[in-house]
Amino acid sequence: MNIFVFETSLEASQYAYDLVAKALESGANTFGLATGSTPEELYSIIRDSDLDFTDAKAVNLDEYYGLPADNDQSYAYFMKKHLFDAKPFAQTHIPNGTATDVEKEIEDYNTILSENPVDLQILGIGSNGHIGFNEPGSPFDSKTRLVDLTDETIQANKRNFESEADVPKKAFSMGIGSILESKQIVLMAFGENKAKAVKETVHGKVTPDVPASVLKNHSNTVILLDKAAASQLDPSDYEVIS
């Protein structure tokens, strides 16, 4: 893993933008996208850029189970607001949070991923080390599936809902096995609350207990951190970009 540390999350996001732009210029066709607060600055930079994704495809990591696409807390809504309305793609794929046939939705999404190999995958990381909604204990060979969210994840996400009772308890998630098939992975982590998970990812053993630790087995992973998220690493672990 190549680890780069920046003074601010905005500087890290600009570096991520440069990687996206380089991939697009080099012919990347399919981009794996994440949601949540971590990629918001990246998407803002992309929105204000002249990058053209009209010939590219997007596949998203996950979606809350039970939320329709027009719910303002759904990840479909998030992506339209933060990226797709301003930067249309030839195709966009996000699991259907209200699918009545769960097994068919899973099968269909796995087919989409197999037919559209991801050239560059954007990832965040949960405070418990999850990537996508692959919570601790997720098999490293897992594909898209419906997962139960841990209490830690529910607590972290409740800030976006009126009450904890409104937070979905399940989600569709691209599996770790699918994530590892991406040609390039860019993981971003910002803030002190991510520092422990980053340390366990970098220094801990590769274990399903820390899902992100498997990225050490990937041949082309870049980790972009602000100073707070890197605070528990040794300076020899990373390169400072200024």
- Catalytic site residue from 41, 105, 119, 130: 130
- Catalytic site residue from 41, 105, 119, 135: 135
How far apart CA 142 and CA 174 sit, in angstroms, is 8
Nearest-CA neighbor of 216 among 175, 187, 174?
187
To the query of whether residue 135 is one of the catalytic residues in this protein, the response is: yes
CA distances to 26, 27, 98, 211 from 124, rounded to whole Å, are: 24, 24, 24, 12
To the query of whether residue 103 is one of the catalytic residues in this protein, the response is: no
To the query of whether residue 203 is one of the catalytic residues in this protein, the response is: no
Burial of 141 (0-12, 13-18, 19+ CB in 10 A): exposed
How far apart CA 201 and CA 213 sit, in angstroms, is 4
Check the CA dihedral 65-68-70-71 and report its sign. Answer: negative
Contact call for residues 184 and 218 (beta carbons, < 8 A) = no
To the query of whether residue 85 is one of the catalytic residues in this protein, the response is: no
Any bridge partners for residue 235, and if so which? none
> Tell me, what DSSP letter sits at residue 240?
E
The SS3 call for residue 40 is helix
- Catalytic site residue from 60, 96, 128, 134: 128
DSSP 66-101: T--TTSTTSHHHHHIIIIITTS--SEEE---TT-S-
Q: Catalytic residue positions?
A: 62, 128, 130, 135
